[in-house]
């Protein structure tokens, strides 16, 4: 703190302190009140940072001030106004470079503090703000909403009083009618959703609302029933199951009243909730029971029901029930019929009706124009949709000039057109229309660009890897103050996909404090946990690993304690299930699957993590589990997509190949998958598509999302099943032709890459290396072009130490294609120049290949004459391989220390002569000298066992994710724990044979000239060090292996794999140690080693590992 207060910090130190400050804040918010000291520490850092305030802010002060609103929200959530007044308000009042923000207005107006656990707030200040005519209607609404949202979450003891006060504040505004269901009242949405969540808890009853209004003497007034309508509308969106309770309660209250307070909007809300729950019969029944409350808005719900049930007669019956036969208003009638036809893509009928309508001089309503556009969207005729939209704008202009009101009619048409633009590959066109929509919104004073539209735009730019555009959209949202939970989650997803994990994490912290349920939102926690999962795979340091693990475990703990909101709880449970399945804790994963089933009918995504886990095992037991999961999905009525079918196909292929000995089931499954997605089974005479018009609109709409999975399914089937190359090639061409047709010959990058990869694999299997090489080269060329453009368009931040980060999915595709490319090069016996080109491309584009490929490239480049590729070779080893070897050296040194402590413990209970004969092979390898001296030291050192335990704990933290090592296990199983054949699981290291060849290569280049070697050590320090250290340990390892070979000989008829040698070494060591104190062990333990070979496996914390996430 002293150094911070001096204001003499480097830029790097300032950035580190800023990150530490917000990490501490973040940790304190998710600690469920356990880490209040973290909040106090954050306050101390802030105070020290601003203890000396000059006219110009220091770098650290600038960094902290830039995101100080997060700190202000933490203070409000902690109900600590004194901290705000002392640390923040004084700064804002005193310094011109720290402007007052909306969060400051909220903090000062609320004045939240705690007394005996209850929330205390400044009623007078809030009332004064609401009565001040200088404050806008919007700001008053936002203030009241924030008051309830913050208060109800942080005070579990006096929430009824907060709700009562919320209603009192509403009565002081122009919204005193309490009917807050219009778009103009969207500012109240977060507060109303927080109320819905509050009454969703079992201990809270919605009848409490009546009691609150009774205390306010408003129980029998219109405002009470208006507020119930407001809550019913909010619940129909937020928690449809709860909406039925609000509907029942309002009906009960209304029946006890002198007049009917049920409104058509109430009926629409409950019908919408029932439709969300897929209770289609309930929608019809509740409508028939309330014929006095029909409204045109309800027709859109019936339209959705008819579409879902494919029952259009029911829709016509409803029209006649609502309006009477033959009495439906002309424009309304046309609108309903045309929208029904639009959903089916019946363009001819819609155009005929539109022309008929014009001849009868009926003015088309916006809904009718929308039907014309919607039909073109269904048919993927986007240019025609654009033409119709332009005609509508002309009509709109004429209407506006004649004084007609067009504001509320414009929004739906613009949103429809946004869905058209989002089909375009032209990012600039999408951005231009987005901006024009914002301009129209400002002109018309109507909400066109809502959060749903923004999330679609962000998703579009995310899939296009348009980082700069995503940043631009975020800036607009922040400027317009429309950031909500939906937009935050979309941005977190996008940043995570761009491999901007820290940025996503920071945004999640901000989102938590501004969410409807601060720090408890299941949706934000889900995105946060997903970001940690991907971040773990891309981590660079141990510090990042520990941070990610700690934060992930904290979220898991919150979920376990059920300290999360119920909204989208299934999505959060799925992410927790994925966490456990990825960490090989399958039992816990199944528990969360059961929790998901207890909530309601699971979605398909709930089964994907377990299917993926069992498929990765590539064993019959795992594939049988996948088939069982698929049958369970069928029994629950869960519709499967290609995402689960691709795992099922792997399972059926494996079973057909190893059990059934024929592939009839695989063929039927593939035919079913293709038929489900409206594809024909290539080469089949039977037509799976009954309609001559080709694929259905659903298939066309979803093809972008399933194309990659379909390519993988077809590729797996063709690779594993028998048949001639010609037949398979014909099958492949037929499938790809259909795919191009479905995509209108416009394949997205991800689909093209999937085609290149899967088809390249197939042609390699067929032995057609030329075709395989051509496909793979095309894919790599596309990726090179994409990466160059991505780097060029990358939004350069103002942060220190800026570096372009390539998105992980692009890197994964590049590595996969390059792996296949290298395999084909080796099969073609290509020259080293081809590998040199790969090395240069990867270096230029900052691409990191896997360790196996890098070893192959190094091996091939060493074949070039005159050491032409020397720098390329050592660039690869220095940046991608040498660190792994040095970690193995560190592992061996730690094991040597632990073995010394182990022998000390053994000396206490066993004679030195026996230890010398029994453990001589390990004693020699680990360089154990005089055992008598060691025994003497063990007698003098009374704390030897505690030292061993401490050393094992330190070792486990450094080299393993399985936790602390048990000393008793180590003492009983030295052949497992101290086996010299133990290695780090990372492939990012020089393989032993490559290390030997590279050392010879280095000798040839330097001729062991010391001056030349010293220069190289400055340039490639880790590479040179690891090569010399590997040579030093080479003789010791060879001696050990020779002695093992004398105990159990290696196989003479084949080359032994590393895993087989490791098993043989353990068995040989066990034979020696059987003479020791473990004679009573099971005689079949050797056989068990094959099944449990990975017990207590050492694992390196490197980026290619996925044992944790």
pLDDT tens digits, one per residue of 227-239: 999 999 999 998 8
Give residue 259's pLDDT.
82
Nearest to 368 by CA among 358, 359, 360: 358
**Mean pLDDT value across residues 9-24:** 84
**From 780-784, 835-839, 918-922, 1031-1035, the region with the lowest mean pLDDT:** 1031-1035
What average pLDDT does the segment 941-967 reach?
A: 78
pLDDT per position as a tens digit, 968-1016: 888 988 888 898 888 887 788 999 899 999 999 999 999 888 889 999 9
Q: What is the per-residue pLDDT for 795?
A: 82
Q: What is the rounded average pLDDT for all residues in the chain?
A: 84
- Of 419-428, 574-583, 888-897, 961-970, least confident by mean pLDDT is 961-970
Mean pLDDT of 782-792: 90
Instruction: Yes or no: say if 736 and 782 are a contact pair by the CB < 8 Å rule.
Output: no
Higher pLDDT among residues 1091 and 734, named by residue: 734
CA–CA distances in Å: residue 864 to residues 415, 825, 853: 60, 16, 18
Is the confidence at residue 75, as pLDDT, over 60?
A: yes
Instruction: Indicate the range of 447-456, 536-545, 561-570, 924-933 predicted with least confidence.
Output: 536-545
Residue 36 has a pLDDT of 73
Q: Which residue has the higher pLDDT, 174 or 1057?
A: 174
pLDDT number for residue 748: 81
Average pLDDT over residues 471-499: 93
Over residues 128-149, the pLDDT tens digits come to: 999 999 999 989 999 999 999 8
Q: What pLDDT shows up at residue 401?
A: 54
Pairing of strands 118-120, 113-115: antiparallel
Q: Which of 542, 548, 454 is nearest to 501 (CA)?
A: 548
- pLDDT at residue 964 greater than cutoff 80: no
Measured between alpha carbons, how far is 837 from 167 in angstroms, rounded to an integer? 70
Which of the residue ranges 398-402, 797-801, 1097-1101 has the most confident prediction, judged by mean pLDDT?
Answer: 398-402
The pLDDT tens digits of the residues spanning 535-583 come to: 988 887 777 888 898 889 889 988 998 888 888 889 999 999 999 998 8
Position with higher pLDDT, 746 vs 121:
121
Q: What is the DSSP letter of 186?
A: G
> What integer pLDDT is reported at residue 1107 of this predicted model?
31
Mean pLDDT over 408-414 rounds to 76
User: Quick one: DSSP state of residue 51?
Assistant: S
pLDDT at 932: 83
710-729: average pLDDT: 88
Is the model's pLDDT at 327 over the cut of 80? no
1020, exposed or middle or buried, with CB in 10 Å at 0-12, 13-18, 19+?
A: buried
Distances (CA, A) of 715 to 499, 624, 760, 773: 29, 21, 10, 17
Poorest-pLDDT segment among 251-260, 262-271, 836-845, 1082-1091:
1082-1091
Read off the pLDDT of each residue in 394-405 and give the average, rounded to a whole number.
65
**How high is the pLDDT of residue 969?**
87
> With bands split at pLDDT 50, 70 and 90, how would you rate the model's confidence at 698?
very low
At 777 the pLDDT is: 92
Q: Which of 261-270, 667-676, 835-844, 1068-1077 has the lowest mean pLDDT?
A: 1068-1077
Q: Residue 329: which residues within 8 A CB-CB, separation 6 or more?
A: 323
In this predicted structure, the answer to whether residue 1082 has a pLDDT above a threshold of 80 is no
pLDDT tens for 342-392 read 877 888 888 988 988 888 888 888 888 988 998 888 887 888 999 999 898
pLDDT for res 797: 59
Q: Kindly indicate the confidence band of residue 646, based on its pLDDT and cuts at 50, 70 and 90.
A: very high
Per-residue pLDDT averaged across 926-947, rounded?
A: 79
Residue 324 has pLDDT above 80, yes or no: no
What are the b/e assignments for 224-246, b being 16+ CB within 10 Å? bbbbbbbbbbbbbbbbbebbbbb
Q: How many CA atoms lie within 13 A of 1003 on its CB side?
A: 9
The gap from C-alpha 755 to its chain's centroid, in whole angstroms, comes to 25
What does the pLDDT read at residue 66? 85
Q: Residue 547 and residue 1090: Cα distance in Å, rounded?
A: 35
- From 41-45, 301-305, 610-614, 889-893, the region with the lowest mean pLDDT: 301-305
Task: Considering only residues 14 and 859, tell me which one the structure prediction assigns the higher pLDDT.
Answer: 859
Question: How large a percentage of the chain has pLDDT more than 70?
Answer: 88
| Band of residue 326 on the pLDDT scale cut at 50, 70, 90 | low
Are the C-beta atoms of 25 and 66 separated by less than 8 Å? no
pTM of the model: 0.81
| Per-residue model confidence (pLDDT) at position 844 | 84
pLDDT of residue 935: 81
pLDDT at 523: 93
**Where exactly are the structural domains of the chain?**
1-115, 874-1091
Q: Residues 738, 781: contact at Cβ < 8 Å?
A: no
Model confidence band, residue 1091 (pLDDT cutoffs 50, 70, 90): very low
In the prediction, which pLDDT does 1085 show?
43
As a whole number, mean pLDDT of residues 634-645 equals 91
Provide the pLDDT confidence category of residue 1027 given band limits of 50, 70 and 90: very high
Q: What share of the chain is helix, strand, coil (3-state, %, to 5)?
A: 70, 0, 30
pLDDT of residue 961: 55
What percentage of the chain reaches a pLDDT higher than 90? 38
Name the band, by pLDDT with cuts 50, 70 and 90, for residue 106.
Answer: very high
Residues 723-732 have a mean pLDDT of 85
């Amino acid at each position: 703190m002293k150094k911070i207060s001096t204001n003499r910090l480097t830029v790097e130190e300032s950035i580190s302190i800023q990150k530490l400050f917000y990490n501490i804040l973040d940790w304190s918010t998710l600690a469920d009140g356990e880490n209040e000291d973290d909040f106090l520490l954050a306050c101390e850092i802030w105070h020290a940072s601003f203890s000396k305030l000059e006219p110009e802010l220091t770098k650290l002060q600038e960094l902290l001030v830039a995101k100080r609103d997060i700190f202000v929200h933490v203070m409000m959530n902690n109900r600590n106004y004194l901290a705000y007044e002392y640390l923040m308000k004084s700064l804002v009042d005193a310094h011109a470079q720290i402007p007052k923000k909306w969060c400051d207005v909220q903090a000062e107006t609320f004045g939240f503090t705690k007394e005996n656990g209850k929330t205390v707030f400044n009623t007078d200040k809030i009332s004064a703000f609401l009565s001040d005519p200088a404050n806008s209607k919007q700001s008053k609404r936002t203030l009241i909403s924030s008051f309830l949202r913050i208060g109800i979450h942080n005070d579990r003891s006096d929430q009824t009083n907060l709700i009562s006060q919320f209603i009192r504040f509403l009565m002081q505004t122009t919204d005193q009618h309490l009917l807050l269901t219009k778009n103009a009242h969207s500012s109240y949405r977060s507060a109303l959703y927080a109320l819905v969540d509050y009454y969703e808890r079992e201990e809270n009853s919605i009848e409490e609302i009546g009691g609150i209004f009774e205390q306010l003497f408003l129980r029998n007034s219109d405002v009470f029933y208006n507020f119930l309508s407001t809550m019913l509308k909010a619940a129909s969106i937020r928690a449809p199951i709860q909406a039925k309770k609000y509907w029942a309660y309002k009906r009960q209250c209304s029946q006890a009243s002198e007049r009917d307070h049920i409104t058509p909007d109430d009926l629409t809300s409950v019908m919408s909730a029932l439709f969300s729950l897929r209770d289609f019969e309930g929608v019809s029944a509740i409508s028939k029971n309330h014929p006095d409350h029909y409204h045109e808005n309800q027709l859109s719900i019936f339209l959705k029901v008819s579409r879902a049930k494919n029952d259009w007669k029911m829709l016509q019956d409803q029209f006649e029930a609502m309006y009477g036969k033959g009495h439906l208003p002309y424009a309304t009638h046309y609108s309903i019929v045309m929208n029904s036809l639009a959903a089916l893509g019946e363009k001819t009928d819609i155009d005929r009706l539109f022309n008929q309508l014009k001849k009868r001089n009926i003015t088309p309503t916006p809904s009718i124009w929308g039907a014309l556009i919607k039909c073109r969207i269904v048919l993927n005729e986007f240019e025609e949709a654009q033409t119709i939209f332009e005609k509508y704008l002309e009509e709109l202009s004429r209407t506006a000039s004649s004084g007609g009101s067009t504001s509320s009619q414009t929004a739906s048409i613009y949103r429809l057109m946004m869905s058209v633009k989002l089909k375009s590959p032209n990012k600039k066109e999408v951005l231009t229309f987005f901006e024009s929509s914002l301009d129209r919104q400002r002109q018309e004073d109507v909400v066109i660009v809502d959060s749903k539209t923004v999330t679609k735009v962000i998703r579009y730019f995310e899939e296009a890897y348009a980082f700069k555009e995503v940043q631009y959209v975020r800036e607009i949202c922040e400027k317009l103050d429309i950031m909500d939970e939906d937009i935050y989650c979309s941005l977190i997803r996008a940043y995570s996909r761009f491999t901007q994990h820290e940025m996503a994490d920071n945004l999640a912290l901000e989102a938590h404090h501004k969410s409807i349920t601060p720090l408890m939102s299941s949706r934000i926690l889900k995105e946060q946990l997903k970001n940690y999962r991907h971040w773990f795979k891309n981590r660079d340091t141990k510090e990042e690993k520990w941070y990610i693990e700690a934060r992930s475990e904290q979220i898991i703990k919150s979920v376990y304690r059920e300290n999360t909101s119920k909204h989208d709880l299934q999505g959060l449970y799925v992410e927790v299930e994925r966490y456990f399945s990825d960490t090989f804790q399958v039992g816990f994963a199944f528990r969360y699957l059961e929790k998901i089933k207890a909530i309601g009918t699971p979605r398909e995504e709930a089964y994907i993590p377990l299917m993926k886990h069992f498929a990765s095992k590539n064993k019959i037991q795992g594939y049988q589990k996948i088939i069982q999961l698929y049958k369970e999905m069928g029994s629950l009525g869960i519709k499967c997509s290609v995402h689960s079918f691709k795992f099922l196909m792997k399972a059926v292929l494996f079973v057909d190949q190893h059990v059934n000995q024929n592939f009839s089931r695989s063929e039927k499954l593939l035919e079913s998958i293709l038929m489900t997605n409206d594809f024909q089974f290539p080469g089949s005479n039977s037509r799976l598509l009954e309609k001559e018009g080709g694929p259905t609109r659903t298939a066309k709409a979803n093809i972008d999302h399933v194309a990659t999975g379909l390519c993988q399914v077809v590729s797996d089937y063709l690779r594993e099943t028998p048949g001639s190359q010609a037949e398979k090639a014909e099958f492949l061409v037929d499938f790809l032709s259909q795919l191009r047709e479905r995509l209108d010959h416009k394949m997205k990058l991800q689909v093209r890459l999937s085609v290149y990869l899967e088809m390249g694999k197939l042609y390699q299997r067929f032995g057609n290396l030329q075709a395989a090489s051509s496909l793979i080269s095309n894919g790599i060329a596309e990726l090179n072009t994409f990466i160059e453009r991505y780097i060029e368009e990358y939004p350069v931040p103002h942060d220190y130490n800026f570096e372009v980060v390539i998105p992980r999915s692009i890197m994964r595709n590049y590595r996969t294609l390059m792996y296949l490319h290298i395999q084909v090069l080796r099969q073609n016996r290509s020259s080293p120049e081809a590998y040199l080109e790969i090395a240069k491309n990867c270096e230029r584009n900052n691409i990191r290949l896997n360790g196996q490929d890098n070893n192959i490239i190094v091996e091939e480049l060493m074949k070039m004459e005159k050491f032409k590729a020397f720098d390329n070779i050592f660039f690869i080893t220095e940046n991608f391989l040498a660190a792994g070897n040095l970690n193995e050296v560190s592992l061996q040194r730690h094991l040597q220390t632990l073995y010394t402590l182990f022998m000390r413990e053994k000396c206490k209970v066993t004679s030195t002569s026996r230890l010398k004969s029994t453990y001589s092979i390990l004693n020699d390898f680990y360089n154990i000298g005089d055992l008598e001296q060691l025994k003497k030291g063990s007698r003098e050192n009374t704390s030897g066992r505690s030292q061993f335990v401490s050393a094992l704990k330190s070792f486990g933290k450094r080299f393993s994710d399985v936790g602390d090592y048990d000393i008793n296990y180590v003492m009983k199983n030295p052949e497992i724990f101290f086996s010299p054949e133990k290695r780090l699981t990372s492939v990012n290291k020089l393989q032993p044979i490559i290390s030997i060849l590279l050392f010879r290569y280095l000798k040839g280049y330097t001729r062991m000239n010391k001056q030349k070697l010293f220069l190289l050590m400055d340039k490639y320090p880790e590479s040179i060090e690891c090569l010399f250290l590997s040579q030093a340990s080479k003789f010791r390892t060879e001696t050990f292996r020779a002695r093992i070979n004398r105990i159990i000989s290696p196989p003479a008829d084949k080359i032994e794999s590393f895993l087989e040698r490791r098993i043989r070494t353990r068995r040989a060591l066990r034979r020696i140690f059987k003479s020791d104190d473990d004679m009573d062990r099971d005689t079949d333990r050797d056989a068990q080693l094959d099944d449990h070979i990975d017990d207590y496996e050492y694992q390196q914390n490197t980026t290619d590992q996925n044992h944790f996430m």
